[in-house]
Amino acid sequence: MKLVHIVIVKFKPEVDEATKEKAMEDVLALKNDIPEIKAATAGKTFTDRSKGFEWGWVVELEKKEDLATYSDHPAHLAYVSKYKPLFADLIALDYMS
């Protein structure tokens, strides 16, 4: 079993594409700082079914307890501090697979 952490975001209208792409690069870079991350992917949707949520990422962790470690890690907190103000909306979903 593994924990799958999915986040999809809707950026504020004034956020440019370069900043959105940098946000995805930075979320993937968290794997370099947070050893509990076993895998990570991120990208932009190419369909019109996402109700305005255009970017998302998936982070895989080993166990449920790792989610708290990930969430409270200084690198994750710095990411949230930098990018959350740019999000118009966000959905997070966590499940065991």
Q: What pLDDT was estimated at residue 22?
A: 98
* pLDDT for residue 84: 97
Specify the pTM.
0.93
pLDDT (tens, 9 = 90+) of the chain, 97 residues, equals 999 999 999 999 999 999 999 999 999 999 999 999 999 999 999 998 999 999 999 999 999 999 999 999 999 999 999 999 999 999 999 999 9
| Domains in the chain: boundaries | 3-88
CATH classification of 3-88 is 3.10.20.340, yes or no? no
pLDDT value for 86: 98
Which DSSP string corresponds to 40-68?
A: EEEEE--SS-STT--EEEEEEESSTHHHH
| Structural tokens at position 9 | 């975001």
Query: What DSSP assignment string belongs to 14-42?
Result: T--HHHHHHHHHHHHHHHHH-TTEEEEEE
Return left, alpha or beta for 51; rule: phi > 0 is left, psi -120 to 50 is alpha, else beta: left
